[in-house]
Amino acid sequence: MGSSFPCQICVVGFLCGVCLTSLFLAALTSFGTFQLGPISFSSTMLFSVTHSECDFKLKQAEQLSESNSNNEGDEDERVSLLYSAWNAELTKSKTGGGGNYLMKDGVNVPDIPNAPHLENCKAKTKLYGRLDQRTGNESFPPWTSWKGFLDTHPVASSKGTYPPWIAGSDEENYPMTRKVQRDIWIHQHPVDCRDPNVKFLVADWERLPGFGIGAQIAGMCGLLAIAISEGRVLVANYYNRADHDGCKASSRSSWSCYFFPETSQECRQRAFELMKSEEARNNGIVTIKESYTSKHIWAGPTPRKWGAPWSYLQPTTDVNGSLLVSHRKMDRRWWRAQAVRYLMRFPTEYTCNLLNEARHAAFGTIAAKMVIESLAGGWPKVIVNYCLRIIENPTQDNISSIL
In a domain, 135, yes or no: no
In a domain, 247, yes or no: yes
Does this model's pTM top 0.85? My answer is: no
Q: How much is the pLDDT for 227?
A: 97
For the chain, give the percent of residues with pLDDT over 70.
Answer: 64
Q: How much is the pLDDT for 351?
A: 97
Residues composing the chain? 403
pLDDT one-digit tens code per residue, 281-295: 999 999 999 999 999
Q: How much is the pLDDT for 171?
A: 84
139 or 63: which leads in pLDDT? 139
In a domain, 139, yes or no: no
60 or 82: which leads in pLDDT? 82
Indicate the range of 65-69, 71-75, 136-140, 357-361 predicted with least confidence: 65-69
In a domain, 74, yes or no: yes
What distance in Å separates the CA atoms of residue 402 and residue 394, rounded to the nearest whole number? 11
Domain co-membership, 112 together with 192: no
210 or 156: which leads in pLDDT? 210
Sign of CA dihedral 45, 46, 50, 51: negative
Indicate the range of 88-102, 250-264, 309-323 predicted with least confidence: 88-102
In a domain, 156, yes or no: no
162: left (phi over 0), alpha (psi -120 to 50) or beta: beta
In a domain, 158, yes or no: no
Q: How much is the pLDDT for 399?
A: 46
pLDDT one-digit tens code per residue, 364-393: 999 999 998 888 666 776 544 445 455 555
| Long-range contacts of the stretch 349-353 (C-beta < 8 A, 24+) | 349/121, 349/122, 349/124, 349/125, 350/246, 350/247, 350/248, 350/251, 350/257, 350/258, 351/257, 351/258, 351/259, 352/119, 352/121, 352/124, 352/125, 353/90, 353/93, 353/94, 353/121
Name the residue among 91, 93, 111 with its Cα closest to residue 101.
91
For the CA atoms of the chain, what is the radius of gyration?
34
In a domain, 340, yes or no: yes
What distance in Å separates the CA atoms of residue 367 and residue 370, rounded to the nearest whole number? 5
| Cis amide prior to 380 (ω within 30 degrees) | yes
Domain co-membership, 213 together with 335: yes
Domain co-membership, 289 together with 363: no
pLDDT above 90 for 18:
no
Residue 168: what residue type?
Answer: G
pLDDT above 60 for 113:
yes
Domain co-membership, 333 together with 361: no
CA distances from 117 to 113, 217, 238, 364 (A): 12, 28, 33, 7
Range of the domain at 46: 35-117+356-400
In a domain, 140, yes or no: no
Domain co-membership, 174 together with 319: yes
Q: How much is the pLDDT for 67?
A: 52
pLDDT one-digit tens code per residue, 130-168: 999 987 766 678 787 555 544 444 444 445 578 999 988
Average pLDDT, the chain: 78
Give the 3-state secondary structure percentages of the chain, helix then strand then coil, rounded to 5: 55, 5, 40
Domain co-membership, 205 together with 97: no
- When divided into structural domains, the chain yields a total of 2
Give the chain's end-to-end CA distance (angstroms, integer): 56
Q: How much is the pLDDT for 319?
A: 77
Would you call 225 exposed, middle or buried from its count of C-beta atoms within 10 A (0-12, 13-18, 19+)?
A: buried
Q: How much is the pLDDT for 387?
A: 52
Q: How much is the pLDDT for 45?
A: 44
Domain co-membership, 315 together with 177: yes
pLDDT above 70 for 6:
no
pLDDT one-digit tens code per residue, 212-248: 999 999 999 999 999 999 999 999 999 999 999 999 9
